[in-house]
Structure 1
Amino acid sequence: MPEQHDTVPEIQTFGRRARAARDRAGLTRAVAGGLVGRSAEWVKAIETGAIGMPRLPMLIRMATVYECDIADLTGDERITAATYTKAVHASLPAVKRALTTYQLTAGEDEPEAAEVLAARVRRAWKLWHGDGDHRSRVAALLPDLLADAQRSVRALEGAERRRVLALQAQVYHLAQLYLAFQPEPELITMAGDRSMSAAQDADSPRAIAGAAWYVNHIYRDADTAAEARVELAEQAAALQRRDDPEGLARWGLLQLAAALSYAKTGRAELAWRYWDRAKDAARQLGEAYVHPWLIFGHGIVDAYALDIHLGLVQPGKAVEAAAALDLGAVPSATRRARHLVEAARAYGMQQEGVAAVALLGKAYRTSPETVRFSTHARMVLPEFAKAGPPTVREDARELTLALGLTA
């Protein structure tokens, strides 16, 4: 009989190599898990292929603990280069320059009024969540937005300055989102920290809620500050008024932040308790409500249930959640594509390559740049193109080339 290709060899290879590296280091799963900040069950799931290759911060931590090179874990220099030397967006130098330029004098230009700046920020959010190359479109606006917000904060006073500070926090959110999956992690941290500082200076609970949501993303992606990020979400949530839709939406979003943080640390009961709170907030807001730029609503709460299963290393339940995913209520192409990528990750964990490639293709059609700069997509598509199920190898090859990778 001809050889069957029902699995993704890369996932198995990484697990075997991780186990071999741990054995060479003379560590038990419990000890290795403790040293990298995970449980023994997580180490087992990595080694058996129940979950795939982690992100760069955890890879570095594992390599340090196991006293080996990252390439010893990945087993493939091409994958290492293509995946973890992240794709660089053409506008990154301009955005970096704008973030690291400090306007120490007032200058001759009139400061932009809060009302005018607010209209520009709203437009940027629409571009971010809209169809097409959202990252490129927002990148074209970011340098001027960052400079003009900084100029207005320096020149204005009183209530008008506080309004601009709240808007400046949003501009930093946009910068942080743009910088995600770019090879400048320190800039992501900088943008998150500045957004929180601007929100606090604005004395705006609403701005603080948005900043707390995005700072939580930074902590989770870096696998750090688990307790601090939950405490931050709870403190910001306590500032929100729950008797109006805007406040309730931000409160619900912060419940999601806590749920995702607890899932990341394997605390299932707490993760689902906070997810239930977010779900209840979405119910109170009604099926038609979606926050205009935070995109909180019942559709997004349901979508994040998949992330919780993934964080808890429950691939079977993650696939069930992926199969039930209805993104019709999520009015953001970027978010829809992001959750489709996560659904593909769930199916990949279960060695269901046909579904995984189909979902990645749908995500690419929904929001090309979301997939183009996705670490997961860049990691698995070349392998699907080379050794995935025969029925989808050609599709995987076309997607791989679309991402600018070698098939």
Structure 2
Amino acid sequence: MTEPASSTFGQRLRAHRERTGLTRPVLGGLVGRSAEWVKAIEGGRLLPPRLPMMLRLAEVLDITDLADLTGAHPLPVASVTRAGHPDVDQVAAAMQRTTAPAGDPVPAVVLRGLVDQAWTLWHQSSTERGAVAAVLPQLLDDARTSARRLDGTDRRAALVELARVYHLVQLFAANQPYSELVWLAADRAMAAAQDADNPAAMSAAAWYYAHVFRSSNRTDAAEQVLVDAAGMLDPSAGGEQLARWGQAQLGIALTHSKRGRDGKAWRAWDAADDAATRLGSGYAHPWLMFGPTVVAAYGVTVEIDLVRPGEAIRRATNTDYSSLPSRTRRATHLVDAARAHLLRGEDVAVVHLLGRAVRESLDTVRHRPHARMAIMELVDRRGTVGEDARELALAIDLG
């Protein structure tokens, strides 16, 4: 959607806000401002905001080019908020091969061990993208060869592992300016899981596909794929099925919160929380990481989406992130906690939490748009906040 060149910044902002169905209080809350501030910007009583705030508005309104707001020269939002990884070309090349490589298949049980090792790299490295990029091209070749050349139950097992490899590709490419690679990985993972005729694999594929749908504001599609996945599982069976079902409920909660449907969001979150509680206080799925702590941490995300930063901070304070057996997940949720404080203008807490997140996973902070925008907003602050923000900017190579 591009407004006429004669439109003012405020008129463009209002048109995009109304297109996405956001009220002024909601838009203001999501960027840490009041409804009156939004009204004043739209009415031309305030000058257009500085670049960091424009980027926050663009992210909330799903605007891909700042020219749609400013009417000036094109400036893709992703070129500022999303950092590319130097190893993306080799991963993309492996994904784009149209035929399985020649050679003998890897036995399904061996392939599973290799995929488990790759997931361990993702969760345990502070530079997880570089760690998995080193193994993904060969792992993709091995998994595709096995899925193509094995038969019967071995082939179906290989297809399940192939889907898990595609999930890693999606995670690697996420929050980078390569949306086509993210979509390709999500679609191929679902196809592999369906070909395996494995409900557990399809539910994991639905979790990752829903992330892609939500990022493009296709919330109805996100909800449907998760509802379909949950319907294939029996939570009363406990164990793996309960974990996969609970994660589907968590995804449904995130989908509703993105649309501001607080009642539906919390009902789904409660279902996920109940499933996690039944699995045990110390439970964490070995690679999906679903468990009580993850559910609690995503409660912070739900509160932020519903523009309740005070409640988000309360939940974040009561969540023991250190119990998450994943550096990437710990860093992700620390960034969310920082977002809540940013909405409240609590700059010291923001830089403190982002600093903790960097120590957990440099890659996660480098590639999270919300973290990058928060740091950009704080680098010009006076005193220690600005100094800390500038150090963070250097750490994540924020130009």
Shift of residue 374 of structure 1?
A: 1.7
Q: Structure 1's 219 and 403: CA in aligned 2 closer, same or farther, altered over 3 A? A: same
**Matched positions, count:** 372
> What percent identity do the matched residue pairs reach?
41
Q: Structure 1's 37 and 111: CA in aligned 2 closer, same or farther, altered over 3 A? A: farther
Alpha-carbon distance between aligned partners in 2 of 1:266 and 1:383, rounded to the nearest angstrom: 26
Contact 2:29 2:343 in 1 (8 A): no
The amino acid of 1:331's aligned partner reads P
Aligned residue for 1:59, secondary structure, equals coil
Deviation beyond 4 Å, 4+ runs, structure 1 = 61-64, 79-82
Aligned residue for 1:137, secondary structure, equals helix
Q: Structure 1's 202 and 258: CA in aligned 2 closer, same or farther, altered over 3 A? A: same
The gaps in structure 2 that reach 5 residues or longer are 1-6, 35-52
Shift of residue 62 of structure 1?
A: 8.3
Structure 2 equivalent of residue 68 of structure 1:
71
2:334 to 340, 353, 356: 340
Q: Which moved more, 1:198-207 or 1:375-384?
A: 375-384
Q: Structure 1's 150 and 69: CA in aligned 2 closer, same or farther, altered over 3 A? A: farther
1:98 to 94, 100, 125: 94
Shift of residue 241 of structure 1?
A: 2.4
Contact 1:318 1:346 in 2 (8 A): yes
Q: Structure 1's 48 and 150: CA in aligned 2 closer, same or farther, altered over 3 A? A: closer
Structure 2 equivalent of residue 256 of structure 1:
250
Alpha-carbon distance between aligned partners in 1 of 2:249 and 2:356, rounded to the nearest angstrom: 29
Q: Normalization by structure 2: what TM-score?
A: 0.87
Structure 2 equivalent of residue 12 of structure 1:
none
The amino acid of 1:53's aligned partner reads L
Q: Normalization by structure 1: what TM-score?
A: 0.85
User: Is 2:83 the partner of 1:87?
Assistant: yes
2:144 to 139, 147, 150: 150
Contact 1:32 1:43 in 2 (8 A): no
Contact 2:238 2:279 in 1 (8 A): no
User: Is 2:202 the partner of 1:208?
Assistant: yes
Structure 1 equivalent of residue 37 of structure 2:
none
Q: Structure 1's 62 and 281: CA in aligned 2 closer, same or farther, altered over 3 A? A: farther
| 1:2-401 to 2 correspondences below 5 Å | 21-23=9-11, 25=12, 32-45=16-29, 49=33, 52-55=56-59, 58-60=62-64, 64=68, 68-69=71-72, 83-84=80-81, 86-103=82-99, 107=102, 109-224=103-218, 226-242=219-235, 243-387=237-381, 390-401=383-394
Contact 1:220 1:261 in 2 (8 A): yes
List per-residue Cα deviations over 1:99-146 (Å, max 9, x = no partner). 101226x62x11111111100000011110003321111110100111
List per-residue Cα deviations over 1:304-355 (Å, max 9, x = no partner). 0010011112222222222223213311111000000111111011100000
Give the structure, 1 or 2, with the largest relative contact order (CA under 8 Å, sep 6 or more): 1
Aligned residue for 2:125, secondary structure, equals coil
Alpha-carbon distance between aligned partners in 2 of 1:239 and 1:329, rounded to the nearest angstrom: 30
What root-mean-square deviation, in Å, do the aligned CA atoms of Structure 1 and Structure 2 show? Answer: 2.4
Contact 2:64 2:77 in 1 (8 A): no
The gaps in structure 1 that reach 5 residues or longer are 1-18, 72-76
Q: Structure 1's 390 and 80: CA in aligned 2 closer, same or farther, altered over 3 A? A: farther
Shift of residue 191 of structure 1?
A: 0.3
List per-residue Cα deviations over 1:127-169 (Å, max 9, x = no partner). 1000332111111010011111111111111111110001100
